[in-house]
Amino acid sequence: VKSYRHSIEMHTEEREQVLDITERVQEVCARSGIADGFALVCSQHTSSAVYISDNDPALTEDLRRVLAQIVPEGTVYAHDLADPKGNGHAHIRATLVGLSCSVPVTNGALELGVYQTIYYAEFDGQRTKTVLIKVIGE
C-alpha cells in the first residue's frame, strides 16, 4: 500500500464562505500515481469543514441558512470567554458539518457520483488555512 500526502492552502475573502475544491483534490489524486484506493480530504482547523454535496449554489445557501438558524452568531458561547476571536459559532458549525470526507479513487481518479462536489466550508476565514489530502492505495 502506498500513500501520498499533499496540503492545499485555502484563503477566503469572506469570513464565512464555501468553496468548490473538487478540481484541486482531483489534481492531487492524479499526481499521487495511486490508481486504486481512497483520498482523505481533511481540514487542519477547527473552524472550517470539508463535505460532499450537490453542485447547486441554492443548496449551499440553504445549508448556510440552516446553520445560522441552529448555531446563531451573536449568542454568548462559553468558548468566546476564552477566545477573543469570538468564533464559538464557527467551531460548532464546523463540528456539525464535519472536518473531513473520504472519496473512492478508481483508475487514478476520484470516483464521485454525478452530482457530488467536494466543498470547503470556511466559518472563520480571511486568513490562510490548510486542507490535508492523503491518497492511500496501490
Q: Please report whether residue 80 would count as binding Zn ion according to CB under 5 A.
A: no
- Residue 28 burial by CB count (10 A; 0-12/13-18/19+): exposed, middle or buried? buried
Nearest approach in angstroms of CB 16 to Zn ion is: 14
Take residue 26 and report the three cell numbers written for it: 482531483
Angle, in degrees to the nearest 10, between helices 57-70 and 88-97: 120
Give 124's Cβ-side CA count (13 Å radius): 19
Nearest approach in angstroms of CB 127 to Zn ion is: 13
Q: Please report whether residue 60 would count as binding Zn ion according to CB under 5 A.
A: no
Q: Please report whether residue 83 would count as binding Zn ion according to CB under 5 A.
A: yes
Of 22, 43, 87, 117, the residue at the interface with Zn ion (CB under 5 A) is 87
Nearest approach in angstroms of CB 47 to Zn ion is: 6
What is the binding site for Zn ion (CB under 5 A)? 83, 87
